[in-house]
Amino acid sequence: MEFLFAHSGLAIGLLGAGLAACLAGAGSGIGTGYAGQAGAGLVTEDPSKFGKVMILQVIPGTQGLYGLVVFFVAIMNMGLLDGSAANLSFVEGCRYFAACMPIGIGGLVTAKYQGKVAAASVNLLAKNPDHWSKGMILCITVEFYAILSLLASMMMLLFI
């Protein structure tokens, strides 16, 4: 059992880093999918609205980028990029895992719901094109909580 605790820190830290990227990326895939489905219907009817639809679809994709940033910062701090990742203790690995979870979970949830807001904003664009920016503002409101998740992960990573 002591061997497990002595050599599992890096694996646990990498699991956290991987989950940060994968969960946030999956959320972005779901969110951009929702917005893209709504947008494809509108663009079929009015191709001139493609640019505005594209902006609304891209917004839920930022969480995947945030997860990837946390992934790279975590593996850099763990020493994987410079080859110094010899032995992280079990406790250090758990710290990295915990530091990566805010953006992993926060990114998954906020991207999914931001995609739903973006899909509703596509409907706003379809019915009242002059007010499509209001839908964008609604999407950005959800983005704020993704940024808080990113900030939590980054602060935790900086103080490990």
CATH number at residue 21: 1.20.120.610
What digits encode the pLDDT tens for the residues 91-142? 999 999 999 999 999 999 999 999 999 999 999 999 999 999 999 999 999 9
Q: Give the structural domain span for 62.
A: 2-158
pTM of the model: 0.92
Assign 85 a pLDDT band (cuts: 50, 70, 90): confident
DSSP 96: H
Return all residues near 128 (Cβ < 8 A) that are at least 6 apart. Answer: none
User: What is the spatial distance between Cα 158 and Cα 143, in angstroms, rounded to a whole number?
Assistant: 22
User: What is the spatial distance between Cα 126 and Cα 49, in angstroms, rounded to a whole number?
Assistant: 9
E strand or H helix at 100, and its extent? helix 90-127
Query: Which one has a higher pLDDT value, 86 or 77?
Result: 77
Name the domain count of the chain: 1
* pLDDT of amino acid 82: 87
> For the range 75-81, what are the long-range contacts, defined as Cβ-Cβ under 8 Å and sequence gap of 24 or more?
75/14, 75/17, 77/157, 77/160, 78/10, 78/13, 78/14, 78/17, 80/14
